[in-house]
Structure 1
Amino acid sequence: MPWHPHTKILLVLCFVGLVAFLATAMGLVSDYWLIYRLGSGTTDGGNSTNVRLASAGVWRVCYRPDALPDDGKRCHNINYLSRVQVESDDPLSQYAYPVHGNDLLLPFLILVCVGVALVFLAEALAMVCLRKRSKMMYISTAFVFIVAGLAGAAGLIIFSLRGAQLLSDWPSQQQGESPYEYVSFGWSFAITWLGSALALFNSCGYVWLARRHLDAMM
């Protein structure tokens, strides 16, 4: 017995939604949103007065193995709500944890977390749509997917703006000339964008299904 055409489309959309959730969730928990590139004339060695960053994620900032803070920890957690210096023995704490001087990253965190949670909810609705095909279910799933994609995209745009400021924000008066040639966005940032884009794509698919369902009833 051949499958109903909508069943195949629903399976594809369900798979795309799963990929969207996995991409955004993996991006959220990984430490490679920003990659710090040293200048060509800079060596990797260092001490606590010139600790050098390697990468930064949503939850942690990581340092180069040969240039760690005095506590010897390679990665430090980011406390988005704290107003005090995170690590008194880390001379880059105010730079590495920019939320202390710029509340822009707190809405970024909220938007991205909401986006990931909504992608998960939308994927659950997508699975329900495999069994319960109705215009209301399609519209509800499309709505949650589009809100998830927009929330994630808004958070990523905020992070892009903040990331672009990092080289100019280097504390040269306290730390001297910056050892970094440039700061680039890493694979964690890229796959989170991919997940948000797929969520928006899926919303279009469910809107199309809702219209097809309505046309079939007329």
Structure 2
Amino acid sequence: MTAPDPKDDLRFYLQSARDALLWKLDGLSEYDIRRPLTPTGTNLLGLVKHVAGVELGYLGDTFGRPSGEAQPWLSDGAEENADMWATAEESRERIVGLYRRAWAHSDATIDALALDTVGRVPWWRSGKDEVTLHHAVVRVIADTHRHAGHADIVRELIDGAVGMNEGNTAVAPGDSASWERHRNRLEQAAREAGQDVER
């Protein structure tokens, strides 16, 4: 058996996270993909915008491979957290297009460089800013999967849709009535545990 290329594993998990995140936008209105559903404003399109910037930074600028993509939310004077939400003028197509171009740029970096290539993260403290391509790719995979998990929850809050992708819900089978019973059972267990602690 031929030894697998480690880059193939990294590409697989990175792409699966990318696909899962974008799938969460499917079938939703402009309002729903932008709607903040947590106290900190987590929203689907903002998550996509954020991870596009993460890829362009860690798998582009860090290795001296700037993309040339405009990211005004990173400029001096930009509003705080501007990378985590989309303005009314920033269309779904624009942000998804940016993310897909970020993929292509990242993939080109992964293809062009050895995994032990050392880069410098521009926003890290001097002297602590070196990172290998392998480390950077793993960091981007972890970040993207984390945000895909956020998107799972936000999407479920919007319309109840769950899963990793169209063909894999990654959730035990059940209809809405069985899930309501399950949730009620968990609520009851939480209340009982809370009462035990208070005693």
**TM exceeding 0.5:** no
Q: TM-score range by the shorter chain?
A: 0.3 to 0.5
Q: Which has the higher contact order (CA 8 A, sep 6+)?
A: 1
TM-score norm. by structure 2 comes to: 0.38
Larger relative strand fraction: 1
**Whose Rg is larger?**
1
TM-score norm. by structure 1 comes to: 0.35
